[in-house]
């Protein structure tokens, strides 16, 4: 008798996870049908944390979700901060995976998003340099360089990754690995980074707010004092008439 075709990976992972849900509900003397229906809704949100289109990390996410049952309770959902952390951790791991030593590429050996962030420590010096070069190239590809002369630069950010890269060393919420607010700002205006000999600044055109690298509000006119005329010309179209 010919064997039936294998189930798609996503479906296999989900069926196994819901089977574990049914068993857990019985063990806790809960209604298994209601528990499965509830877990279906919760886990669908968790699956969305997988940054790949191939559901590469579906099994890991399912195992992570079941570990949460042990830690915080079977009936508890995951909050936005936890899910944001998961997405960021998996994205970070996926970007570095091929550069990790072979014995560090199996995601099953990591238990949490924070452990995924720490895999950089396993990179060789050569791999670390290669990763930094690739990140720089991606950041430049996802930005528009409006002005570049000496130590003066004006950069228009076009992605969360670019915002994180150009914001390295700052306290901007748009540069944070966790709870990154780039998308919120980008939906309401443009984000520009101004590099000067003195510091790094970020300008949000939606409000005209300009902040230094410590995220303190500053007067843009003071930032531009001594700036090349071409930079001032390049930034002018982004400023409200009152600025």
Check residue 200 and give left, alpha or beta (phi > 0: left; psi -120 to 50: alpha).
beta
Average pLDDT of the residues of the chain: 93
Place of tokens 């990763």: 131
Residue 87: pLDDT above 70?
yes
Cα(160)–Cα(149) distance, rounded to whole angstroms? 25
pLDDT digits (tens, 9 = 90+) for 154-166: 999 999 999 999 9
Summarize the confidence of residues 49-60 as an average pLDDT. 96
pLDDT digits (tens, 9 = 90+) for 183-203: 999 999 999 999 999 999 999
Residue 149: pLDDT above 70?
yes
Check residue 73 and give left, alpha or beta (phi > 0: left; psi -120 to 50: alpha).
left
Cα(204)–Cα(219) distance, rounded to whole angstroms? 13
The per-residue pLDDT for 81 is 85
């Amino acid at each position: 008798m010919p064997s039936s075709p294998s189930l798609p990976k996503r479906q296999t992972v989900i069926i196994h996870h819901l089977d574990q849900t049914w068993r857990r509900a019985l063990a806790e003397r809960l209604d298994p049908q209601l528990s499965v229906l509830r877990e279906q809704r919760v886990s669908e949100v968790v699956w969305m944390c997988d940054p790949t289109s191939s559901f590469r990390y579906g099994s890991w996410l399912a195992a992570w979700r079941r570990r949460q049952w042990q830690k915080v309770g079977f009936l508890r959902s995951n909050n936005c901060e936890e899910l944001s952390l998961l997405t960021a951790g998996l994205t970070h791991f996926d970007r570095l995976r091929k550069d990790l030593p072979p014995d560090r590429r199996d995601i099953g050996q990591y238990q949490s998003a924070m452990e995924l962030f720490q895999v950089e420590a396993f990179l060789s010096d050569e791999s670390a340099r290669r990763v930094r070069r690739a990140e720089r190239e991606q950041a430049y590809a996802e930005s528009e360089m409006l002005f570049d002369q000496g130590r003066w630069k004006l950069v228009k950010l076009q992605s969360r990754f670019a915002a994180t890269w150009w914001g390295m060393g700052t306290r901007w919420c748009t540069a944070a690995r966790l709870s990154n607010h780039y998308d919120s700002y980008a939906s309401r205006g443009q984000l520009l980074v101004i590099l000067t000999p003195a510091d790094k600044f970020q300008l949000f055109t939606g409000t005209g707010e300009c902040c230094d690298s410590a995220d303190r509000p500053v007067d843009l006119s003071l930032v531009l004092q001594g700036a090349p005329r071409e930079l001032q010309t390049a930034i002018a179209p982004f400023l409200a008439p009152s600025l």
